[in-house]
Chain A
Amino acid sequence: ETGVTQSPTHLIKTRGQQVTLRCSSQSGHNTVSWYQQALGQGPQFIFQYYREEENGRGNFPPRFSGLQFPNYSSELNVNALELDDSALYLCASSLWRSGRGTEAFFGQGTRLTVV
């Protein structure tokens, strides 16, 4: 158990719809990142939030957006879903302190299927 929880665990959406995925960070962690993992591939970095602001983004279009709340929980929103958005979405939290980050702790992921 990493202390990082994600909801829901599984989700089926229709192409064109919007989806919101949620993540509760490990207690004491102030940084959260989201990753997309397609079948048979390694996780791909989407973006990172630190103190409620985005401070890093991977090669993903603007229809992927996020939020980090004061309690350090987070949401990933995806608009205008496409079939290729079907993947395991992973949330990871870490502690950024004194100019250095600790290792990332991942949740179990949300399996999104777009039909």
Chain B
Amino acid sequence: LAKTTQPISMDSYEGQEVNITCSHNNIATNDYITWYQQFPSQGPRFIIQGYKTKVTNEVASLFIPADRKSSTLSLPRVSLSDTAVYYCLVGDPVTGGGNKLTFGTGTQLKVEL
């Protein structure tokens, strides 16, 4: 399974754009990149998933360069409620069935006024 590396923590202020980068040098051809958000004492929540280039949904964008060895989660105009741990995961949704997930320690994002 491809290992991911991401910053342990990040600080930001309300209204700013936050970019969290994840390194996954050993990503396999069939692997997708998925990001989850987790609040204290709650289960992780799916944010976004992508394979290459750029993916955007109503809450975030995911940028993946051509070599796919890294990815960047972009959160536009963060608010206090975005304070959470963000996990970057790499895996094959076919063989993994979307559910055999390997989490790292994640990035603790703290948003202040």
CB-based contact B106/A42 at 8 Å: yes
Bin chain A's interface residue count: 35 or more
C-alpha gap A99/B98 in the complex (Å): 10
Residue of B nearest to A41 (CB): B105
Bin chain B's interface residue count: 20 to 34
A19 on the B face (CB < 8 A): no
Identify the interface centre among B46, B94, B97, B103: most chain A CB within 10 Å of its CB.
Answer: B97
C-alpha gap A111/B103 in the complex (Å): 19
User: Chain A binding site: helix, strand, loop or mixed by DSSP?
Assistant: strand
CB-based contact B43/A103 at 8 Å: no
Interface string of A43-87 (1 = CB under 8 A from B): 111001010000110000000000000000000000000000000
CB-based contact B93/A108 at 8 Å: no
The residues of B that contact A107 with a CB separation of less than 8 Å are 43
CB-based contact B98/A43 at 8 Å: no
C-alpha gap A48/B97 in the complex (Å): 9
CB-based contact B43/A101 at 8 Å: no
The residues of A that contact B16 with a CB separation of less than 8 Å are none
The residues of A that contact B97 with a CB separation of less than 8 Å are 31, 48, 50, 55-56, 94, 96, 101
The residues of A that contact B102 with a CB separation of less than 8 Å are 45
What is the interface of chain A, defined by CB distance below 8 A to chain B? 2, 4, 31-33, 35, 40-45, 48, 50, 55-56, 88, 90-96, 99-109, 111
| Interface contacts beyond A43-B101, A90-B44, A93-B99: sample of 8 additional A-B pairs, CB < 8 Å, sorted by A | A2-B43, A31-B97, A32-B99, A33-B99, A35-B101, A40-B105, A95-B98, A104-B99
What is the interface of chain B, defined by CB distance below 8 A to chain A? 34, 41-46, 49, 87, 93-94, 96-106
| Top-5 shortest CB links A-B | A101-B98, A106-B43, A42-B103, A101-B97, A33-B99
